[in-house]
Structure 1
Amino acid sequence: MYRDIMHKQAPPKATLNKWLTSYSSSKKGYGHILLEQIVPGDATIREGLRPYFESAHSDAREYFHAYAGMSLHPDAGAPGCNAKYPNCLPPKARRGVFGEVMSGLMTEALDFVGNHEWIVPVFLFRNQEDARQYIYVLSRDPARKREVLGRKGDDFIGIVVNDDGAVTRFIAGEAKWRKKWIPSVLDDVMLGTKIEVPKKSGNLVHDGKGVWFEINRALDVPIGVKQLQDILQELAPDEYANVILSLDKIQQLQNPAPSERTDLILLVGGSAAGRGEGEPLLEWETKPSQHQKNRDLQVVEIILSDGDALIDALYDSLWP
């Protein structure tokens, strides 16, 4: 039998303060936080992060292991021991989920634009269909290692709940990992990959389908809200009864209850050569003009000197 586990681990603020230094600014409708690594991501830092990451992945771990017919904590040599989630995820997928967990962690740990009190009841990793299939197959054929496809939609949704237990605001957005945030990589991520226009002209322009495109076309009430509601209904219907009811009202097609959304962009990875201390990737004094929605925007940039090693060691260490 599998236990229903909600995400209830507090963010490790002491570890963050030891690991990263912060440069923050906030104007009406726009917040920007730059975090730079100041100590190595060693075993002490990883151990500080581990409980939060285990909590973030707990629901999906139970869900995927049950689907594959695996024990929740298979012993060495037992069936499925090679396919434990999220330990078995390949490198690219690990970096993707690392960014999503960091989105939730930073939302709960830091003061974002608007100074709202954010709650992350559960992460939505169980909806990664390709990861579920990957674990099912890998548990039966250890040779079937491959990269895991990403998915459309949100893996992380934060909510603000008022005194009546009703949801009044969501936070969702985009989390991106890159090994080195050199200017050309940043432009490709934010503005889309370059294409030749017109064809055979040699003129390369961004296709306009990067992070700004995704943020600007995102629904005010994203599909992740429905997925969050479904998980709450399954795992904690009594504890979150008022939240579930308010989400019903917010998602009505006719006369929905009012709610607001904060957009989040989290960029994490290594620094470009020559980048100065405290130098941000995106505009910090005013909201970037590419953000075209009448919604609050929060940008978080995390610059790591040993991110690859930290991510792999951290994910290897989960549920030792």
Structure 2
Amino acid sequence: MMHVCPPPKAALDTWLNANGSIRGGNYGHLLLEQQGESDDVLVAALRPYFESAHLDARTHFHAQLGIDLHPDAGRPADIRYPNCLPSTAQRGLFGEVMAGLVTEAYQDEFVGGHPWRVPIFLFRKHEDVENYLWALKYDDEREREIYGRHGTDFLGISLNAAGDVVRMIVGEAKWRVSLTDSVVAGVLLGPKKKDKAGNSAHNGRGVWFEVNRDSPVPWGLRQLQRLLEEHDPDGYAAAILSMDRAVLGIASIPGRTNLILIVGNGAERRGTGDCLIGWEEMPVEYKAPHDLQVVEVILEKGHELIDKLYTSLWNMP
């Protein structure tokens, strides 16, 4: 199912205070700090967008597993995607949906000023979720964590007047319950390890490492192409052809913007306006040749919001 719900911009403006900057024409930094309540009103405003983001995967997984959600079907009410996933998995999904949400809602403040659209999210491309749901179908007390989805966390596209894909935004989204300097350093630079002398240093296998070595054509572009072929081959005919030609190497690769989104609860001693990734200039660890957009989303009790939001999906009268 296509993602068709626009971002709830009025609710976002009440909930988050936006402070953005663009440096040197190829680096953008956007700080989004919570200023409003994460209450039932906000959950109701966010719910349609999150349901739209997860609808394709929900439909796909339920069809694969033969789960009928009709009230008279006799299936357990808790065997449903994404409601029944472990909390850690839901937090990861929340971060990836937020990548799409802020890209669509704040694109005017992103580096390059490109008109981004997210035709469909890539959540069905998560084999371990399907394995988990299959086991849960036959044993509703099954408990285990879920391995993360391989490949691109998030992908949006920009089209020209003819409908060709002329640019893509490729995102890495990370949720952490507490956004301290040390936690974010671990995300970006990899976990610390001790050498033979007992000195600790980051192993260099964090987000910067993954972004810097990503293939020129991200895996997610091919996944998106296949989903568009399935759901709207006529409406996206030109986009599908342009993506196919790029993958096959018979046309130039679309331009690219890399997105790094960090979302979580602010540290206890954090001051208003404090950033975890420098906004004044491009981070020195970033070596890729593409534009870079960083987004920091600083919340209060964000874990409680995620629980309320994912409990509410397809659950409201």
The 5 Å alignment of 1:17-28 reads: 17-27=13-23, 28=25
Q: Which residue of 2 aligns with 1:44?
A: 41
Deviation larger for 230-239 or 119-128: 230-239
- 3-state secondary structure, aligned to 2:135: helix
Match of 2:220 among 200, 218, 224: 224
Q: How does 1:1-320 map to 2 (within 5 A)?
A: 5-27=1-23, 28-71=25-68, 73-75=69-71, 78-110=74-106, 111=108, 112-197=110-195, 199=196, 201-253=197-249, 255-320=250-315
Q: Contact 1:194 / 1:205 at 8 angstroms: preserved in 2?
A: yes
What's the CA shift for 1:271?
Answer: 1.0
Offset of 1:80 from its aligned partner? 4.2
Give me the identity figure in percent. 50
Aligned residues: 312
What is the letter of the counterpart of residue 90 of structure 1?
A: P
Q: Is residue 217–residue 253 contact of structure 2 (8 Å, CA) maintained in 1?
A: no
Kept in 1: contact 2:153–2:173 (CA 8 A): no
Q: Is the 8 A contact 1:18 1:39 kept in 2?
A: yes
Q: Is the 8 A contact 1:220 1:260 kept in 2?
A: no
Query: 1:117 & 1:273 partners in 2: Cα distance?
Result: 36
2 CA distance for matches of 1:139 and 1:78? 12
Query: What's the CA shift for 1:277?
Result: 0.3
Q: Which of 222-231 and 74-83 deviates more? A: 74-83
Q: Following the alignment from structure 2 to structure 1, what is the Cα–Cα distance between the partners of residues 72 and 32?
A: 38
1:39 CA displacement: 1.6
Q: Deviations over 1:181-205 (max 9, x none)?
A: 11111111110011122x3x20111
SS at match of 2:154: coil
Q: Deviation string for 1:206-236 (max 9, x for gaps)?
A: 1000011011111222000000011111111
Work out whether residues 15 and 45 of structure 1, in 8 Å CA contact, stay in contact via their aligned partners in 2.
Answer: yes
Q: Counterparts of 2:212 and 2:70 in 1: how far apart (Å)?
A: 43
Query: In the aligned structure 1, how far is the partner of 2:237 from the partner of 2:42?
Result: 37
* Residues 231-282 of structure 1, C-alpha deviations (whole Å, 9 max, x = no match): 11111111111111111111123x4324111000000001112111011110
CA shift at 1:74, angstroms?
A: 4.2
Name the CA distance, whole Å, in 2 between partners of 1:231 and 1:258: 19
The aligned amino acid for 1:148 is I
> CA offset at residue 61 of structure 1?
0.1
Unaligned runs of 5+ in 1: none
Paired amino acid for 2:278: E
